[in-house]
Structure 1
């Protein structure tokens, strides 16, 4: 019984610690998005061959990551300082920021749901995803 309680307590502490920093949470999510883009980008450029299974997995991961993106929990007031590339504009224009998140969600869902079967179809599916990333990064990310 004591061993079970100790294990439960340790897991609870680890879970709490993992979610203790919105900055770390959003950086981890952005890195995950970057990994998916790292799979898709070289395929779209023609540097890597189109493999439907890996492309679809990356698109599904983008879609899942977009769903996880939450302005209130990942960008709460007070999390604008420290080691972050988040622009103060996020908190000054919360509605605009949320609109960009919504656009990203819609674009990634459409790309994943399109299930592209060749590189040309992937490029079409990713056009709006790329546009949504660029728009948000231009407006709401500090360039380092």
Structure 2
């Protein structure tokens, strides 16, 4: 069974990773606003994810204004997929699913079920458009 990643599991970081999994890259301000955190909190999360090798941070300018963009690294994308797989495994034990249209039969006590690999689950975006 895949384990939850404690670095990703924090709610704001999970939101950041989820947002980044759906796009090629995202502006710092967009991520800050979507996660509803302050600049300093967003900066700390971004730095922690960058230190782990999960995100790549790019700095530049739009006109004369400085901007910061983040994107998932290949390592970060795999860590996110693994984390989602672990969440799916936990939820599936209750007979429920993270996707309502895909109920999982509830395993019997002591029964172990094989799960789909993370890269085949619809909640893990394949394309980054």
User: What TM-score comes out, normalization by structure 2 length?
Assistant: 0.31
Rg (Cα) greater in structure:
1
Higher strand share: 2
User: What TM-score comes out, normalization by structure 1 length?
Assistant: 0.28
Higher helix share: 1
